[in-house]
Amino acid sequence: MSDVVLITGGGIGIGRATALAFAAQGDRVVITDVLEAEGRAVVAEIEAAGGTAEFKFLDVTDTQQANAVVADVEARLGSVDVIVANAGIAHRVPLEELTDEKWDQTFDIDLKGMLRVVRPAAAGMKARGKGAVICLSSIMGVAYGWDEHVHYSAAKSGVVGLVRGLAVELARSGIRVNGVAPGYIRTAQLLSEKHSLGPVAVETVGEIIPLGRVGQPDDIADVIVFLASKGARYLTGQVITVDGGLLVGRY
């Protein structure tokens, strides 16, 4: 039986790869993003391959909008079975330039944005006695610090606490909550010279990764699909690092 899968930040990168992966196994995918053209392009790609998808504009900093999107999907499609809370930003800001506003913006999107989608969907999941939530953290949230990204590291660490708290609170209702902490993944974010490694460094960073390469978005998407599946039925409250062995290999 297919699931209804709601993905935030589904227009590009890991979100896009995740949408394609769920659609490929026959699930109905609801792609949300502030990037409308990119989101609709993913829908078209899925439909061209014979899958089922739709796009909904969603700014995860808008509580009323998040409530409305979840309510609309439940009313029309009957349920939200899986949530992939992926939307996020990672802007390079040196500490002396890190204003309260910039800190708050990052937390509002990267952490609170997850709560805004999970919270309205929880009641329906509880009523059905099942559901899966997967939240995107980062190696910068579970192990590494990241200079000039203190706000990002802090928010992604917060995702770990969010996963643990939600997992315990929702477990008796049959809802599982897990997280994924990606390492270096070839996305627009990683390729940004302004905010991350940039294209030159990306070509060499694979040398320090035990598996010998930078990850691809579908390397993360496949783990997310597993976490939503019956194969992970006894797994909750965990944040799985998917980094090609980077953390264990740094000695």
Alpha helices in 80-230 (DSSP H): 100-110, 112-128, 139-142, 150-170, 188-191, 198-205, 217-228
Known catalytic residue: 251?
no
* Whether this model's pTM surpasses 0.85: yes
Q: List C-alpha distances in Å: 118 to 11, 75, 169.
A: 19, 16, 12
**pLDDT score, position 206:** 74
User: In the chain, what are the domains?
Assistant: 4-186+216-249 (3.40.50.720)
Digit-coded pLDDT (tens) for 152-202: 999 999 999 999 999 999 999 999 999 999 999 986 665 555 555 666 666
Residues 6+ away with beta carbon under 8 Å from 89? 105, 106, 109, 110, 152
CA 152-153-155 angle, to 5 degrees, is 65
- Considering the candidates 152, 184, 234, 251, report the single residue annotated as catalytic: 152
C-alpha span between 28 and 225 (Å, rounded) = 13
Q: Are 224 and 134 within 8 A, CB to CB?
A: yes
Digit-coded pLDDT (tens) for 30-86: 999 999 999 999 999 999 999 999 999 999 999 999 999 999 999 999 999 999 999
pLDDT, mean of residues 90-117: 96
The count of C-alpha atoms lying within 13 angstroms of the C-alpha of 146, restricted to the half-sphere facing its C-beta, is 24
Element (H, E) at 22: helix 13-24
